[in-house]
A and B are shown apart, each in its own frame.
Chain A
Amino acid sequence: MTLAARLPPLFVLAVMLHTAVLPQFRVAGVAPDLLLLLGIAAGIAAGPDRGAIVGFTAGLLADCFLQTPFGLSALTYSLVGYAVGMFQTTILHAALWIPVTTAVVASALGVVLFAVTGAVVGQAHLLSNRLVTVVLVVSLVNGLLFLFVARPVRWATTADLAPGLVLR
Chain B
Amino acid sequence: MALSRRSGRSRLTLILLVLTSVTVITLDFRGPGGVIGAVRSGAADVLSPVRGAADTVFGPVSDAFSGITGYGALEDENDVLWRRIEELEGDRLRAEDAEAELKALLRVNRLDRFTDLPSVSARVVGSPISNFEQTIQLDRGSDHGIGEDMPVVTGTGLIGRVVDVSGTRSIVRLITDPSSSVGVRLSRSGVLGVLEGVGPDRLLDLGLVDLETDVRERELLVTSGVDDSFFPGGIPVGRVRRATSTEGELQQDIAVAPVVDLGRLRFVKVIQTGSP
Contacts and interface: CB of A to CB of B under 8 A. Distances in A.
B132 A71 contact: no
Contacts of B18: 75, 78-79
Interface stretch (B61-69, B237-245, B252-260): B61-69
B4 interface: no
Contacts of B6: 47, 49
B28 A53 contact: no
Give the interface SS of chain A, mostly helix, strand, loop or mixed: helix
A18 to B, nearest CB: 7
Q: For chain A, which range describes its interface: under 10, 10 to 19, 20 to 34, or 35 or more residues?
A: 35 or more
A155 B25 CA distance: 32
Contact of B130 (A59, A68, A70, A121): A68
Contact of A71 (B25, B44, B62): B25
A128 interface: yes
B200 interface: yes
Interface string A119-146: 0010101101110001001100000000
A52 B50 contact: no
Contact of A70 (B9, B40, B47, B132): B40
Contacts of B198: 128
A18 B14 contact: no
Interface in B8-40: 9-10, 13-14, 17-18, 20-25, 27-29, 36, 39-40
Interface string B144-175: 00000000000000000001100000010100
Interface of B: 6-7, 9-10, 13-14, 17-18, 20-25, 27-29, 36, 39-40, 43-44, 47, 50-51, 53-55, 58-59, 61-62, 65-66, 69, 126-133, 135, 163-164, 171, 173, 177-179, 198-201
30 contacts: A15-B47, A16-B54, A19-B47, A20-B54, A24-B55, A24-B62, A25-B62, A25-B65, A29-B200, A29-B201, A48-B10, A48-B13, A56-B21, A60-B24, A64-B40, A67-B130, A68-B133, A70-B25, A74-B20, A78-B14, A78-B17, A78-B18, A79-B14, A82-B13, A85-B10, A125-B132, A125-B178, A129-B199, A130-B132, A134-B131
Interface of A: 15-16, 18-21, 23-27, 29-31, 33, 47-49, 52-53, 56, 59-61, 64-72, 74-75, 78-79, 82, 85-86, 111, 115, 118, 121, 123, 125-126, 128-130, 134, 137-138
